[in-house]
Structure 1
């Protein structure tokens, strides 16, 4: 999507400012003079009344999962992007919207898993993933690496029934 925008001066009755060949300002229901900068539109609005508005609002970007984002990115290299998206996902409308309007990737939720105090004698221990993939428990002590689990990792380790503490931006 292009980053360029057009601006127009509009009054409270949604009439648009235009200039005739002699440079005289007039208000029209449709049309008007457009400018590529909001500063020029603001200057016209100060001089002739009304207010500067963006002629075409830029659509909001779609929020996608990492997997969905990968499909949309790959569709940009496909000969038939719409067909590619249809073949790869059941969320065709969402992904086509993302293809056209742009997207952002949602941050994956993470959890910390406290070890039951009956197992370790206190409430300060959390499950920890070692670099070789084994699970241990340890005191968190201000570090987060290895202590945060994605939804898939929780299922993979068979820990769905364990107490979970969601990691928030404040924790990072």
Structure 2
């Protein structure tokens, strides 16, 4: 978060001072400029016209978590003592998960890889790719519905020969 702050002055009726026209309190939707970066200006308005300072802060950024980390935070939401649950289940990620619990989070998309079987082609010259179905690894041209985009974890469980092959990261465009 930046150190810069914005200030608004609000009166007891819920109206905001207009710092542009400096002519009174208005509904937020009608004030030309209801904020100032100068704390002194806001204090001067309070001294002369009343009201109180409203500090405006930036919304904290959501934390990016893995699926496993997100599961911990999700379960903590239903736990009697959420902070204790996170502390007991987070290991070295405790501060990250606490921030996610407080500020919200998004789940990082796990990188996926396509493995071209270099030099191996179909009879019509089509490229072949590492494919897995029903626990078996084989070569197949690129086909929708076939399991051909793999995570690091999946490729680390592949046969040793397949682990040695070059991997190409798959983007959402592919």
Evaluate the alpha carbon distance shift between residue 52 and residue 86 of structure 1 in structure 2; reply closer, same or farther with a 3 A threshold: same
Q: CA deviation at 1:57?
A: 2.2
Question: Is structure 2 residue 63 aligned with structure 1 residue 62?
Answer: yes
Match of 2:84?
83
**Structure 2 contact 61–103 (Cα < 8 Å) conserved:** yes
Match of 2:100 among 98, 101, 109: 98
**Structure 1 contact 61–101 (Cα < 8 Å) conserved:** yes
Match of 1:164?
167
Evaluate the alpha carbon distance shift between residue 24 and residue 113 of structure 1 in structure 2; reply closer, same or farther with a 3 A threshold: closer
**Structure 1 contact 125–140 (Cα < 8 Å) conserved:** yes
TM-score of the aligned structures, taking structure 1 as reference length:
0.68
Gaps of 5+ in 2: 20-24, 38-54
Evaluate the alpha carbon distance shift between residue 26 and residue 125 of structure 1 in structure 2; reply closer, same or farther with a 3 A threshold: closer
In structure 2, distance between residues paired with 1:79 and 1:166: 41
Deviation string, structure 1 residues 115-160 (Cα, Å, up to 9, x no partner) = 131x558671101111x1101101115x263111111100011433
Match of 2:8?
16
Match of 2:128 among 125, 136, 144: 125
Identify the structure with the greater strand proportion: 2
Cα-Cα RMSD: 3.3
TM-score of the aligned structures, taking structure 2 as reference length:
0.68
In structure 1, distance between residues paired with 2:7 and 2:64: 35
